[in-house]
C-alpha cells in the first residue's frame, strides 16, 4: 500500500469529517473502517443539530440523506401509571436554515464516505485496525492483521470504546460511572401514519424524550424520533446504576417495560420492528474527556468522550463532526511545519477550546452531577404527574383549593431537598 500522511481509524462522523477536510487540502489520507460498509457498526438515537456544523463541514447539506426536519420537541415526564407532556411546536425550526434533523446512520455515513472519496481520500472498509506502530512511545502508523501501514499522523476516531486511544495511552479503561448503554429499535410505519399520528407535515419530524418511572430510579431516559418511514424508539440507562440496581433487572427488560407502556404502544401501533441495536454513550461530559493528542496521534468524536447531555438536549454527532474538522486543521498545520510531535499537535486542543465543542462541554460541566440524582429521575416526574392528576380529578367530595393540593404534594414528597436540587439546577 502507498504511503499516507494521515491514517484515520474509524469511518464514523469524526473520522469522515476529518478525512474530508484533509483530502480537500490535498493531504494523502486513508480512512479504515472495520464494518462491511460505512455506518455498519454505528448507532445514533438520533438527531443531528445542523447550526453548529453547517459551515464547519462544507458538504452540500441539502443533499444529505437526513430523515425529517424536527419541528416538534416533546418532553414526557412519566409516573408509574400516568404521564405529563410538554410540547414545543416551532415554525422557526421548520424554516431555513433548518435547525435539526433525525438521522439513520447506515444511510448517512455511506453518503458522507462517498463525499470523502470524491474529495480525494482513500477509504477502505472491512479492515480492522488491531494496533499502532509505536516507536519509543511515538505513533508511527497502524497495524491491521499482517499489514503495517506507516503514517505521520493517526487519528483515533474509532468510537466510544476507542481501543486505539487506549493503546496509545491516551485513555484509561472505561469506568461504568462514566458511561450509559442505549438500546434502540427501529420500527417501520408508513410516512402517512407517522404524519397523521404525530400531527406532522411532510418531511417534518418529532423528537421526544421521556424521563421518570421508566428508568426505575436509575439515571437515564427514553427517546423517540420520527424518521421518514420509521420511528427510532430507545432507552438509555447508566451502566453503573444498572450494576447496582437491586433486585437485579436486565437492561432488556427495562427497555421492554418502557416499550409496553400504553403511551408508547399507541405511538408504535401497527409498526414493524426492523432492527434492534445497542450502543454505549459517554455520559461524563467535560470531566470525562480523554487526553486529546500525543506524538503522532489525535483523538476525536466519541473516542475522545465528546458528548453532552444536559437533560433536555442530548448531543454527540455535531461534536464528532466538529472535532474531526478541527483535528484536520491541526494536522494540516503540523504537516506545513513538518512536525508531528505532541507540542505541534497541541494546536488541536486550542482549536477545540475556541469552538463550541469544549466551550459547550465546559459550560455544562455540572450537568452530569445534577442529572445523577434519583429524585430527578423518579420523584419529580412522579410528583408532577400526581399533582396534575389530583388537580384535574373531580371526585364526589368538595374540591379543595388548587394551591393547597399542590403545596401539600410538593411538601410531602420533596421537603427541603427542593432547595438543594434547585441550587444544582441553577448551575446548569
Smallest distance from another protein to CB 403, Å: 42
Q: Toward another protein, which CB reaches closer, 230 or 344? A: 230
Gap between the Cα atoms of 184 and 202, Å rounded? 24
Closest CA to 324 of 20, 4, 5, 7: 20
Beta bridge partners of 236: 182, 221
Smallest distance from another protein to CB 396, Å: 37
Smallest distance from another protein to CB 46, Å: 9
Smallest distance from another protein to CB 145, Å: 8
Smallest distance from another protein to CB 159, Å: 9
Q: Toward another protein, which CB reaches closer, 290 or 344? A: 290
Smallest distance from another protein to CB 21, Å: 23
Gap between the Cα atoms of 378 and 376, Å rounded? 6
Beta bridge partners of 101: 48, 69
Contact (Cβ atoms closer than 8 angstroms) between residue 334 and residue 177: no
Contact (Cβ atoms closer than 8 angstroms) between residue 9 and residue 156: yes
Closest CA to 301 of 27, 44, 91, 5: 44
* 167: CB partners within 8 A, 6+ apart: 131, 132
**Which residue's C-alpha cell is 492483521?**
145
Closest CA to 428 of 378, 362, 352: 362
112 φ/ψ angles, rounded to the nearest 5 degrees: -65, -40
Q: Toward another protein, which CB reaches closer, 39 or 222? A: 39
Q: Toward another protein, which CB reaches closer, 126 or 337? A: 126
Smallest distance from another protein to CB 273, Å: 6
Q: Toward another protein, which CB reaches closer, 172 or 199? A: 172
**Which residue's C-alpha cell is 483515533?**
156
Q: Toward another protein, which CB reaches closer, 57 or 104? A: 104
Smallest distance from another protein to CB 225, Å: 12
| 363 HSE (CA, 13 A, CB side) | 11
| 390 HSE (CA, 13 A, CB side) | 16
Provide the binding-site residues for another protein, judged by CB under 8 A: 34-37, 39-44, 104-107, 109, 126-128, 144, 160-161, 163, 173-176, 179, 181, 183, 185-186, 230, 232, 239, 242-243, 248-253, 255-256, 273-280
Q: Toward another protein, which CB reaches closer, 174 or 358? A: 174
Which secondary structure element, helix H or strand E, spans residue 151, and what is its range? strand 147-156
Q: With helix as H, strand as E and coil as C, how does 180-194 read? A: EEEEEEEEECCHHHH
Q: Toward another protein, which CB reaches closer, 314 or 358? A: 314
Q: What is the DSSP letter of 419?
A: H
Contact (Cβ atoms closer than 8 angstroms) between residue 243 and residue 176: yes
Smallest distance from another protein to CB 157, Å: 15
Contact (Cβ atoms closer than 8 angstroms) between residue 37 and residue 186: no
Q: Is the dihedral of CA 383, 368, 166, 321 positive or negative?
A: positive
Smallest distance from another protein to CB 43, Å: 5
Q: Toward another protein, which CB reaches closer, 372 or 389? A: 372
Q: Toward another protein, which CB reaches closer, 264 or 385? A: 264
Amino acid at each position: 500500500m502507498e504511503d499516507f500522511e494521515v491514517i484515520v481509524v474509524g469511518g464514523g462522523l469524526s473520522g469522515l469529517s476529518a478525512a474530508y477536510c484533509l483530502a480537500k487540502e490535498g493531504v494523502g489520507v486513508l480512512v479504515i473502517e472495520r464494518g462491511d460498509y460505512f455506518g455498519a457498526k454505528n448507532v445514533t438515537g438520533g438527531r443531528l443539530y445542523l447550526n453548529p456544523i453547517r459551515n464547519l463541514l462544507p458538504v452540500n447539506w441539502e443533499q444529505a440523506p437526513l430523515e425529517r426536519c424536527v419541528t416538534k420537541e416533546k418532553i414526557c415526564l412519566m409516573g408509574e401509571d400516568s404521564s405529563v407532556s410538554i410540547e414545543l411546536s416551532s415554525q422557526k425550526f421548520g424554516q431555513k436554515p433548518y435547525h435539526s434533523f433525525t438521522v439513520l446512520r447506515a444511510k448517512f455515513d455511506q453518503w458522507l464516505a462517498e463525499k470523502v472519496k470524491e474529495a480525494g481520500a482513500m477509504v477502505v472498509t472491512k479492515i480492522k485496525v488491531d494496533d499502532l506502530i509505536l516507536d519509543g512511545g511515538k505513533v508511527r502508523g497502524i497495524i491491521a492483521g499482517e499489514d503495517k501501514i506507516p503514517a505521520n499522523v493517526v487519528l483515533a476516531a474509532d468510537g466510544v470504546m476507542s481501543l486505539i486511544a487506549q493503546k496509545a495511552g491516551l485513555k484509561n479503561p472505561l469506568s461504568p460511572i462514566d458511561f450509559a448503554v442505549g438500546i434502540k429499535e427501529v420500527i417501520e410505519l408508513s410516512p402517512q401514519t407517522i404524519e397523521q399520528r404525530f400531527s406532522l407535515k411532510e418531511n417534518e419530524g418529532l423528537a421526544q424524550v421521556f424521563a421518570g418511572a421508566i428508568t426505575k430510579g436509575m439515571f437515564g431516559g427514553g427517546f423517540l424520533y420520527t424518521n421518514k418511514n420509521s420511528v427510532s424508539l430507545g432507552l438509555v440507562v447508566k451502566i453503573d446504576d444498572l450494576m447496582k440496581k437491586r433486585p437485579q433487572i436486565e437492561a432488556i427488560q427495562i427497555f421492554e417495560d418502557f416499550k409496553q407502556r400504553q403511551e408508547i404502544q399507541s405511538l408504535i401501533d401497527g409498526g414493524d420492528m426492523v432492527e434492534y441495536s445497542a450502543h454505549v454513550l459517554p455520559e461524563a461530559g467535560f470531566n470525562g474527556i480523554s487526553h486529546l493528542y500525543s506524538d503522532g496521534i489525535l483523538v476525536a468524536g466519541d473516542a475522545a468522550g465528546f458528548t453532552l447531555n444536559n437533560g433536555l438536549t442530548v448531543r454527540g454527532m455535531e461534536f464528532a463532526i466538529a472535532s474531526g474538522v478541527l483535528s484536520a486543521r491541526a494536522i494540516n498545520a503540523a504537516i506545513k511545519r513538518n512536525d508531528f510531535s505532541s507540542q505541534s499537535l497541541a494546536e488541536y486542543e486550542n482549536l477545540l477550546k475556541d469552538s463550541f465543542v469544549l466551550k459547550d462541554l465546559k459550560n455544562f460541566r455540572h450537568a452530569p452531577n445534577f442529572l445523577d440524582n434519583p429524585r430527578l429521575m423518579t420523584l419529580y416526574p412522579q410528583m408532577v404527574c400526581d399533582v396534575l392528576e389530583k388537580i384535574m380529578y373531580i371526585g364526589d367530595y368538595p374540591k379543595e383549593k388548587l394551591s393547597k393540593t399542590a403545596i401539600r404534594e410538593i411538601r410531602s414528597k420533596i421537603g427541603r431537598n427542593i432547595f438543594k436540587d434547585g441550587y444544582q439546577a441553577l448551575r446548569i
